[in-house]
C-alpha cells in the first residue's frame, strides 16, 4: 500500500489545486550531499515540493497529482543512481521493514570493515616499523592493500561514480578520489620508480613531510583511510538504527494475539491488526491490549507506560478508555474496539513523531545549501593546494600528500548529520517518555519561553472528583455511611457519585443492593437499601425528603474552607453524614511549578473557576499570578495580551476550552491525553505526568536544541580548522581520514547521549 494523504490545497490562477502527500523510502544515500541531490532532483519535478532527511532516509513530497505521479518521483530518484520505494501504510510493516534495512546495512558495513581492517593493519605496521621490513615487502603491502581499496572501498567508489555520471559530486567523491589517488600514485612508484626495486620504506608521519629523493608509496594511506572511514560509517549506521528504534517500538507495540468474543461468547484467536471497530475482545492478566477501546466489564491495574511514560499503573473500570499496547497487570477485562490499525493512539503517535523527524530546522536548510556546493569547492581547493605547493618549491610528493589530505579531511558528513541525528534521537526519547514533539520549530519555541500559563482542572488538578473527607454524624461509622451512600449511587454516572463509589472501594466495604432508585437531576438520589429508605444529595433535597439535619450543616460547620462540593446522606429520618468531594491537586504539581520557575519562567494559573477556588489553589501551588473566571474565548485573549507585552508564552491545557489559547501561544502544550482538539492545537503533547510532564517536555526540547547547536559548532569548527592544516601539509592523509571519520562519530555519539535523558526529580 502507498502512504498518500490528501487535504492540502493551494490557490493559483486556475483556482484551488488539491495536493497529495507521499513518503518515499530511499536507498543508497551515504552522506548529506546525497540527500541534497535527491531533494534537488525531486523539487525539479513540476508540481512537487520535497524534503529529504538523511538521518531517517526518507523523502516527504507534496505534489499535484494532476501534474506529477509517484512513478515519476521514483523514476527521478532512480535516474540519479539511488533507490526509492513508497512507504507502506501500515506502521507495523514500515517499522519492521525499516529495522531490517538498517540491520542489513550495518551488517554489510561490518563485514567490509572487518575484512579491510585485517588487511590494512599489517600494511600500516610495515610502514611504521622498519624492523618488520624484509626484501620485497612492498609487494606484500601492495597485495594486501589492493582488495581493501577496491572491495572494502566499493561503496564509496560506486556512489562516487553514480554522482559523476550525472555531473555532480558527493562526500563519497572525496573519499574515493583520495583513496584511488594514493593507490594510483603507489602503483606509479612501485612499477616506474626505484621504490619498486629497492623496497624503500613508506613514510608515515603526522606532518606528512618527507625528505626522500624518490617518490614514496602511499598504500598505507589508501588502505587505512578506507578502513577508518568504514569504521565511522558503521558506528554511524548503528547510531541511526538505535535512534529509530523508539518509533519502531511505538509502531509495532500493539501487534499481539487477541482473544475475540463472539455474540454467543465463543472465543476466537485473532491477530490484533485484523480487529474491526465494534469487536469485543478479552484481555487477561499479563496480556497486552490489542487495540484502542472501551472497557465493557472487569477491573484491572493497567501499565500505560509505552504510550504515556507513566511509571505507575492506572486502575481502569467499566466505561474507561484503554489504548492498544497497554499491559493488563491483573484482573480480567472485556474491551470493545473503538479504533483499529493506523487510527489507534499508538499508530498516530508513531506517525506524528516520524513526521516531526522528517522535518528540518531552519538551520538545516542552510547546512544543506552549504553541503551541496562544498564538494566541488573542496576538489578545487585540493587541486589548487597541489599546484601552489609545487610551484612554490615543494616536491611533487609533498604537494600530492597535501592535496590528498585536503580531499579526505574535508568531507562534511558531520555537518549533514548534526541536525537530523539530534532531532531523531531527541524526539524518539521524548516519545518513550510520553512526550510528543511535533517538529523542529518547537525546539526553538521551548528555548525562548519565559511565561507558563497553566489551566487548572485536569492540569494542576487530577481532573477527577474524589472524597477529601467523610464526616459521619452521631453514632454512624464512616464505613456504614459510605456503604449506604454508595448503594444508592451505584447506578449513577455523576462525578460526585463516582467519587463515593471509589471511596467505598478504598475502604473495602460491602455495598448492598439498592431498589426503587429515583434520581433527580441536579439534586440527588433516593433508594431502598436493606429495606431502609436512603437519601443522598444536596442538603435541601435531603430535607425535602423528610430528613432532619442536626444543627447548621454549612461548609464552615463541616470544617472546611476549601473549594469542595458537599454531599449529604441520611436514613431513618436523619442526616447521617456529609462527604467533602473535590478535584484534588496533583501530588507533584507544586514541585513541578517550582521546577518551571527554576527554568526561568513566570507561572500563571488561568481558569474558568470562581476567584475564591482559583486563589485557594494558587496559594497552595505558589504560582506567580492567578487569573480566574475566564471564558474559553477569554483564555485566548489573555494569551494575546501576554504576547503583546513581549512575553514568550507556553500555554498548558487539556480541554476544548483551552484550544484557542493553545493555538495562539508561542508554545502550546496539551497534557493528560487531553481532547483531540487540544492535541491538534498544541505543539507538544504530554500523555502522562501532568505539570511534571510539562517540565520534562521543556527540558528535553531545550536539551535537543542544545545538542543540535553543539553538533553544528563541532562540524563547522572541524572543517574550518582542518582544511587549512591539510593544505599546509601539517596533517597526513591517514590522520586526515581518521579525523574525518571520527568527526561524524562524534556527532552521532553526542546525539545518542540524548537517550540518557531522565525525568526531572520532583519533590
pLDDT, tens only, 361-371: 555 555 556 65
Listed ranges 100-109, 461-470, 527-536, 721-730; the one with the highest mean pLDDT: 527-536
At 484, is the pLDDT very low, low, confident or very high (cuts 50, 70, 90)?
very high
Q: At what angle do helices 495-507 and 478-489 cross, to 10 degrees?
A: 140
Percent with pLDDT over 70 in the chain: 75
Report the range of poorest mean pLDDT among 44-48, 129-133, 605-609, 735-739: 735-739
Listed ranges 11-15, 131-135, 251-255; the one with the highest mean pLDDT: 131-135
Q: Is the pLDDT of residue 314 over 90?
A: no
- From the number of C-beta atoms within 10 Å of its C-beta (0-12, 13-18, 19+), residue 534 rates as buried
At 33, is the pLDDT very low, low, confident or very high (cuts 50, 70, 90)?
low
- Mapping DSSP to helix (H, G, I), strand (E, B) and coil, where does residue 665 land? coil
Q: Which residues are catalytic?
A: 455
8 A C-beta contact, residue 241 and residue 106: yes
Give the whole-angstrom CA distance, residue 654 versus residue 673.
7
At 248, is the pLDDT very low, low, confident or very high (cuts 50, 70, 90)?
low
8 A C-beta contact, residue 32 and residue 412: yes
Task: Give the residue with greater pLDDT, 701 vs 371.
Answer: 701
8 A C-beta contact, residue 284 and residue 300: no
Task: Give the residue with greater pLDDT, 656 vs 11.
Answer: 656
Q: What number is the average pLDDT over the span 201-221?
A: 47
8 A C-beta contact, residue 40 and residue 79: no
Give the whole-angstrom CA distance, residue 413 versus residue 65.
35
Q: Is the pLDDT of residue 260 over 80?
A: yes
- Mapping DSSP to helix (H, G, I), strand (E, B) and coil, where does residue 529 land? strand
Q: Is the pLDDT of residue 353 over 80?
A: no
Residue 387: which residues within 8 A CB-CB, separation 6 or more? 399
Give the containing element (helix H, strand E) for 10: strand 4-12
DSSP E strand stretches across 127-261: 257-261
Listed ranges 70-79, 102-111, 175-184; the one with the highest mean pLDDT: 70-79
Q: CA separation (Å) from 757 to 446, 630, 659, 700, 753?
A: 17, 37, 30, 7, 8
At 242, is the pLDDT very low, low, confident or very high (cuts 50, 70, 90)?
low
- Give me the phi and psi of 340, to 5 degrees please: -135, 165
Which is it for strands 524-529 and 625-627: parallel, antiparallel or unpaired? unpaired
Q: What number is the average pLDDT over the span 539-554?
A: 80
Facing residues of 514 across strands?
Answer: 529
Task: Give the residue with greater pLDDT, 421 vs 1.
Answer: 421
Looking at residue 436, what is its pLDDT? 79
Cβ neighbour number for residue 310 with a 10 Å cutoff: 17
Residue 373: which residues within 8 A CB-CB, separation 6 or more? none
In the DSSP assignment, the letter for residue 727 is: H
pLDDT, tens only, 414-473: 666 677 778 778 888 888 888 877 767 777 778 888 999 988 777 787 767 788 889 898
Looking at residue 479, what is its pLDDT? 92
At 354, is the pLDDT very low, low, confident or very high (cuts 50, 70, 90)?
low
Q: Is the pLDDT of residue 254 over 60?
A: no
Domain 4-89 adopts which CATH fold? Alpha-Beta Plaits (3.30.70)
Cell 526519547 locates to 429
CA 284-287-292 angle, to 5 degrees, is 95
Q: CA separation (Å) from 692 to 50, 306, 587, 596, 653?
A: 38, 18, 10, 9, 13
At 200, is the pLDDT very low, low, confident or very high (cuts 50, 70, 90)?
very low
Give the whole-angstrom CA distance, residue 410 versus residue 721.
10
- Here the cell at position 566 is 458537599
Question: What does the domain layout of the chain look like in residue ranges?
Answer: 4-89, 98-245+354-423+707-755, 255-343, 435-461+586-694, 464-584
Q: CA separation (Å) from 247 to 168, 225, 370, 433, 670?
A: 34, 34, 30, 12, 21
Percent with pLDDT over 90 in the chain: 8
Which is it for strands 58-63 and 48-53: parallel, antiparallel or unpaired? antiparallel
Tell me how far the alpha carbon of residue 744 is from its chain's centroid: 22
Which is it for strands 532-537 and 649-653: parallel, antiparallel or unpaired? unpaired
Looking at residue 196, what is its pLDDT? 46
Looking at residue 599, what is its pLDDT? 87
Looking at residue 311, what is its pLDDT? 45
At 324, is the pLDDT very low, low, confident or very high (cuts 50, 70, 90)?
confident
643: left (phi over 0), alpha (psi -120 to 50) or beta: alpha
Q: What number is the average pLDDT over the span 720-731?
A: 81
CATH class label, 464-584: alpha beta
- Mapping DSSP to helix (H, G, I), strand (E, B) and coil, where does residue 313 land? coil
Q: CA separation (Å) from 717 to 10, 109, 334, 710?
A: 41, 28, 60, 10
DSSP E strand stretches across 511-663: 514-520, 524-529, 532-537, 565-571, 574-585, 602-606, 625-627, 649-653
CA torsion angle for 98, 100, 103, 105 (degrees, to 10)?
Answer: -80
β-sheet with 514-520: strand ranges across: 461-472, 574-585, 565-571, 532-537, 524-529, 514-520
Give the whole-angstrom CA distance, residue 619 versus residue 562.
12
Looking at residue 119, what is its pLDDT? 93
Residue 368: which residues within 8 A CB-CB, separation 6 or more? 32, 35, 36, 39, 360, 416
First to last CA, the chain: 49
Listed ranges 189-203, 516-530, 543-557; the one with the highest mean pLDDT: 516-530
Give the whole-angstrom CA distance, residue 412 versus residue 33.
9
Closest by CA position to 108, among listed 150, 146, 152, 148: 152
8 A C-beta contact, residue 258 and residue 275: yes
Cell 463509589 locates to 501
8 A C-beta contact, residue 1 and residue 21: no
Question: CATH classification of 435-461+586-694, choosing from 3.40.50.1000, 3.20.20.70, 3.40.50.300, 3.30.565.10?
Answer: 3.40.50.1000
8 A C-beta contact, residue 626 and residue 615: yes
Looking at residue 571, what is its pLDDT? 93
Cβ neighbour number for residue 112 with a 10 Å cutoff: 21
Looking at residue 372, what is its pLDDT? 61
Q: Is the pLDDT of residue 150 over 80?
A: yes
Give the whole-angstrom CA distance, residue 597 versus residue 602.
6
- Mapping DSSP to helix (H, G, I), strand (E, B) and coil, where does residue 270 land? strand
Give the whole-angstrom CA distance, residue 669 versus residue 596.
14
Residue 646: which residues within 8 A CB-CB, separation 6 or more? none
8 A C-beta contact, residue 524 and residue 535: yes
Report the range of poorest mean pLDDT among 6-10, 558-562, 602-606, 741-745: 6-10
pLDDT, tens only, 40-69: 888 888 888 888 877 677 888 888 888 888
For the chain, the average pLDDT equals 77
CATH class label, 255-343: mainly beta
Looking at residue 327, what is its pLDDT? 83
Q: Is the pLDDT of residue 208 over 70?
A: no
Q: Report CA Rg, the chain.
A: 34
Alpha helices (H) in 199-341, listed in sequence order: 219-243, 245-252, 305-308
Q: Is the pLDDT of residue 656 over 60?
A: no
Amino acid at each position: 500500500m502507498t502512504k498518500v494523504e490528501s487535504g492540502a490545497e493551494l490557490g493559483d490562477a486556475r483556482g484551488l489545486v488539491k495536493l497529495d502527500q507521499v513518503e518515499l523510502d530511499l536507498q543508497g544515500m551515504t552522506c548529506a550531499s546525497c540527500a541534497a541531490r535527491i531533494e534537488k532532483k525531486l523539487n525539479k519535478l513540476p508540481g512537487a515540493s520535497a524534503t529529504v532527511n538523511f538521518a531517517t532516509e526518507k523523502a516527504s513530497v507534496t505534489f499535484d497529482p494532476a501534474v506529477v505521479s509517484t512513478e515519476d518521483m521514483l523514476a527521478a530518484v532512480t535516474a540519479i543512481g539511488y533507490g526509492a520505494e513508497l512507504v507502506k501504510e501500515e506502521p507495523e510493516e514500515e517499522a519492521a521493514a525499516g529495522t531490517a534495512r538498517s540491520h542489513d546495512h550495518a551488517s554489510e558495513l561490518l563485514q567490509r570493515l572487518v575484512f579491510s581492517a585485517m588487511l590494512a593493519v599489517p600494511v600500516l605496521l610495515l610502514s611504521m616499523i622498519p624492523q618488520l621490513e624484509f626484501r620485497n615487502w612492498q609487494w606484500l603491502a601492495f597485495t594486501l592493500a589492493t582488495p581493501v581499496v577496491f572491495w572494502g572501498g566499493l561503496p564509496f567508489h560506486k556512489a562516487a561514480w553514480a554522482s559523476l555520471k550525472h555531473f555532480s559530486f558527493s562526500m563519497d567523491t572525496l573519499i574515493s578520489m583520495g583513496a584511488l589517488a594514493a593507490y594510483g600514485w603507489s602503483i606509479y612508484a612501485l612499477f616506474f620508480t626505484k621504490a619498486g626495486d629497492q623496497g624503500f620504506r613508506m613514510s608515515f608521519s603526522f606532518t606528512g613531510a618527507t625528505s626522500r629523493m624518490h617518490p614514496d608509496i602511499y598504500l598505507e594511506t589508501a588502505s587505512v583511510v578506507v578502513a577508518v572511514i568504514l569504521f565511522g560509517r558503521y558506528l554511524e549506521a548503528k547510531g541511526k538504527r538505535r535512534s529509530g528504534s523508539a518509533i519502531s517500538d511505538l509502531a509495532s507495540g500493539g501487534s499481539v494475539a487477541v482473544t475475540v468474543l463472539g455474540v454467543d461468547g465463543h472465543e476466537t484467536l485473532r491477530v490484533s491488526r485484523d480487529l474491526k471497530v465494534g469487536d469485543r475482545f478479552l484481555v487477561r492478566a499479563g496480556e497486552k491490549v490489542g487495540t484502542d477501546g472501551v472497557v465493557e466489564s472487569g477491573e484491572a491495574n493497567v501499565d500505560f507506560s509505552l504510550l504515556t511514560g507513566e511509571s505507575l499503573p492506572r486502575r481502569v473500570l467499566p466505561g474507561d478508555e484503554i489504548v492498544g499496547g497497554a499491559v493488563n497487570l491483573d484482573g480480567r477485562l472485556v474491551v470493545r474496539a473503538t479504533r483499529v490499525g493506523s487510527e489507534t493512539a499508538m499508530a498516530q503517535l508513531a506517525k506524528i513523531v516520524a513526521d516531526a523527524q522528517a522535518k528540518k530546522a531552519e538551520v538545516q536548510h542552510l547546512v544543506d545549501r552549504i553541503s551541496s556546493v562544498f564538494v566541488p569547492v573542496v576538489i578545487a581547493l585540493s587541486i589548487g593546494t597541489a599546484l601552489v605547493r609545487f610551484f612554490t618549491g615543494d616536491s611533487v610528493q609533498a604537494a600530492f600528500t597535501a592535496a590528498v589530505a585536503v580531499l579526505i579531511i574535508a568531507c562534511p558528513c558531520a555537518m549533514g548529520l548534526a541536525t537530523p541525528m539530534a532531532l531523531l534521537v531527541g524526539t524518539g526519547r521524548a516519545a518513550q517518555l510520553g512526550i510528543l514533539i511535533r517538529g523542529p520549530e518547537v525546539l526553538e519555541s521551548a528555548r525562548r519561553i519565559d511565561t507558563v500559563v497553566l489551566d487548572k482542572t485536569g492540569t494542576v488538578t487530577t481532573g477527577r472528583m474524589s472524597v477529601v473527607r467523610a464526616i459521619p454524624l452521631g453514632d454512624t461509622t464512616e464505613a456504614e455511611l459510605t456503604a449506604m451512600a454508595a448503594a444508592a449511587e451505584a447506578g449513577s454516572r455523576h462525578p460526585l457519585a463516582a467519587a463515593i463509589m471509589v471511596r467505598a472501594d478504598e475502604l473495602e466495604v460491602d455495598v448492598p443492593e439498592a431498589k426503587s432508585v429515583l434520581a433527580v437531576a441536579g439534586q440527588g438520589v433516593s433508594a431502598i437499601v436493606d429495606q431502609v429508605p436512603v437519601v443522598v444529595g444536596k442538603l435541601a433535597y435531603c430535607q425535602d425528603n423528610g430528613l432532619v439535619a442536626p444543627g447548621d450543616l454549612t461548609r464552615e460547620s463541616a470544617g472546611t474552607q476549601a473549594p469542595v462540593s458537599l454531599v449529604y446522606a441520611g436514613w431513618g429520618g436523619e442526616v447521617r453524614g456529609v462527604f467533602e468531594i473535590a478535584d484534588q491537586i496533583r501530588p507533584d504539581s507544586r514541585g513541578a511549578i517550582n521546577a518551571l520557575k527554576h527554568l526561568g519562567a513566570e507561572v500563571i494559573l488561568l481558569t474558568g473557576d470562581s476567584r475564591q477556588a482559583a486563589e485557594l489553589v494558587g496559594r497552595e501551588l505558589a504560582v506567580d499570578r492567578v487569573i480566574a473566571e475566564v471564558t474559553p474565548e477569554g483564555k485566548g485573549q489573555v494569551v494575546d495580551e501576554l504576547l503583546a507585552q513581549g512575553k514568550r508564552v507556553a500555554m498548558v491545557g487539556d480541554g476544548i476550552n483551552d484550544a484557542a489559547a493553545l493555538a495562539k501561544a508561542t508554545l502550546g502544550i496539551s497534557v493528560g491525553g487531553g481532547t483531540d482538539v487540544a492535541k491538534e492545537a498544541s505543539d507538544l503533547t504530554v500523555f502522562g505526568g501532568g505539570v511534571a510532564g510539562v517540565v520534562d517536555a521543556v527540558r528535553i526540547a531545550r536539551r535537543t536544541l542544545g545538542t543540535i547547536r553543539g553538533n553544528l559548532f563541532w562540524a563547522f569548527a572541524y572543517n574550518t580548522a582542518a582544511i587549512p592544516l591539510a593544505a599546509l601539509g601539517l596533517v597526513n592523509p591517514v590522520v586526515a581520514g581518521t579525523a574525518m571519520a571520527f568527526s561524524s562519530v562524534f556527532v552521532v555519539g553526542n546525539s545518542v547521549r540524548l537517550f540518557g535523558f531522565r525525568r526531572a526529580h520532583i519533590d
